[in-house]
Amino acid sequence: MRGLPQGSRIYVRGLNWIGDAVLSLGALQGLRAVRPDLEVTVGAPEATADVYRLSSAVDRVVPLFSRNPLFLFSKNVPRERFDLALILPRSFSSALESVRIAPRRVGFGSEGRSPLLTEPLSYSQWKALGLHQSTYHESLVKALAPEASYASPRLDFSPGQLAEAGKRFEKIVPVGGPVLAVNPGAFYGRAKTWPSAHFVRLLSELIGEIPDLTVLLFSGKADRPMARVLEEAIGSPRLVSLAGALSLAESAALLSLCTLLLTNDSGMMHLGGAAGRPGVALFGPTDPSATGPVPGPGGSRFSVLIHKVACSPCFLRECPIDHRCMEGLSPEQVRGEILRLLTESA
């Protein structure tokens, strides 16, 4: 690959899923570390734009509003030109829209889009290695700067964001004590979610066992019904639901002040890690060796809990049988790990 001249303007086509976007930050941070001269603009849909706005590795975020298939004639992509486009998604459309943006276009060849890329990478070769998703992003930035390496994804909050989160936190937790953040949903599908009955039993026991514990419920739009189920079933003033009340950036800033995060395999899992929080991640139909949490800034880590069954990982959105991978992950096992981590953080 040809080198990048000093001060090159790079357009990065961002990812559509929160977890994927957070993982991509580690690669962009690695690129920034070795090439601070580059001007990096990210084009991102509304769902993930805040993720990229929270990264000091990104100079500017351009929101992408339209999914019009005639995007070459729409306002979905910037009207300006860049020196190079780095295309993180594997979709045909993301490669096609980059044609008018930059003369050099780098990305993984898939979905028949290799002719649209001036410097395609082999997706089949990367896939055959069976590596973690973080290496996908690292491979892309190494194509631009071979000396770049993946860094722990990090969210960089402004002083104003942290101050506002601190005020909100003090209202919710006026007397101190540990704060357990809980994300009971997963946007990808119900197969990835731990059963509501397990959450209710676990959180009720923890609230009864730890007198000064506060539980904060976080959720995305699709998960709010599940959050309401937990809130109504537990009925404790020490369980506070923030479902739908905060933006992604506000949620992440508040999450950074919590003691611990309990979550399914989800975008919130990766957000929590990038916000520097340790936690417990519950896996069933997906594979933590491929999409599991990576170490956060300062070395914070998640404990990954799995109930191994023959049909997992199946990668299905809905379980066609009895959801045994998640049903079999007992509240007792999760409780023990949470208590261990709370003791370590005390």
Q: What is the pLDDT of residue 298?
A: 87
88 is written with which tokens?
């993180």
What is residue 175's predicted lDDT score, i.e. its pLDDT?
81
167 occurs within a structural domain: yes
Output the domain CATH number for residue 13: 3.40.50.2000
216 and 331 together in one domain: yes
Q: Identify whether residues 121 and 18 lie together within a single domain.
A: yes
Please check whether residues 63 and 27 belong to one and the same domain. yes
What is d(CA 158, CA 194) in angstroms, rounded to the nearest whole number?
34
* Number of domains within the chain: 2
118/188 same-domain check? no
143: which DSSP letter? Answer: H
In a domain, 153, yes or no: no
Q: Is 177 left (phi over 0), alpha (psi -120 to 50) or beta?
A: left
170 residue type, one letter: E
Q: The tokens of 82 are what?
A: 């860049």
Q: Is the peptide bond before 195 cis (omega within 30 degrees of 0)?
A: no
Q: Using an 8 Å Cβ cutoff, are 90 and 123 in contact?
A: yes
Domain contains 339: yes
Q: How far apart are CA 52 and CA 17, in angstroms?
A: 12
Choose one of 98, 116, 144: the last residue of a domain: 144
Structural domain containing residue 59: 9-144
**Is 334 part of a structural domain of the chain?**
yes
Same domain, 320 and 174: yes
Show Cβ contacts of residue 237 under 8 Å, excluding neighbours closer than 6 positions: none
Rounded Cα–Cα distance for residues 205 and 223 (Å): 23
Report the C-alpha gap between 205 and 212 in whole angstroms: 13
The answer to whether residue 169 sits within a structural domain is yes
**Residues 175, 77 within the same domain:** no
Helix (H) or strand (E) holding 182: strand 179-183
The answer to the question of residue 323 being in a domain is yes
DSSP string, 187-227: TT-GGGSPPHHHHHHHHHHHHHH-TT-EEEE---GGGHHHH
- Ramachandran angles phi, psi of 274, nearest 5°: -70, -25
Least Cα distance to 277 among 342, 188, 186, 211 occurs for: 342
Together in a domain, 169 and 288: yes
The answer to whether residue 151 is domain-embedded is: no
Same domain, 273 and 341: yes
Structure tokens at 3: 């080198």
Kindly give the confidence (pLDDT) of every residue in the chain, 346 residues in length, as a single tens digit, with 9 standing for 90 and above: 578 999 999 999 999 999 999 999 999 999 999 999 999 999 999 999 999 999 999 999 999 875 544 444 444 667 789 999 999 999 999 999 899 999 999 999 988 999 999 999 999 999 999 999 999 999 999 999 999 999 999 999 999 999 999 999 999 998 889 999 999 988 777 899 999 999 999 999 999 999 999 999 998 777 788 889 999 999 999 999 987 778 999 999 999 999 999 999 999 999 999 999 999 999 999 999 999 999 999 888 999 999 999 999 999 999 999 999 999 999 999 999 999 999 998 7
Of the candidates 123, 130, 100, 101, the residue with the CA atom closest to the CA atom of residue 9 = 101
242 assigned to some structural domain:
yes
- Are 309 and 188 contained in the same domain? yes
Q: Which of 116, 144, 172 finishes a domain?
A: 144
Same domain, 171 and 278: yes
Sign of the Cα pseudo-torsion (44, 50, 51, 55, in order):
positive
**Pair 36, 138 in one domain:** yes
Q: Which of 80, 113, 144 is the last residue of a domain?
A: 144
Q: What is the pLDDT of residue 95?
A: 94
Q: Which phi-psi region, left, alpha or beta, contains residue 315 (left: φ > 0; alpha: ψ -120 to 50)?
A: left
Indicate if 97 and 237 belong to the same structural domain. Answer: no
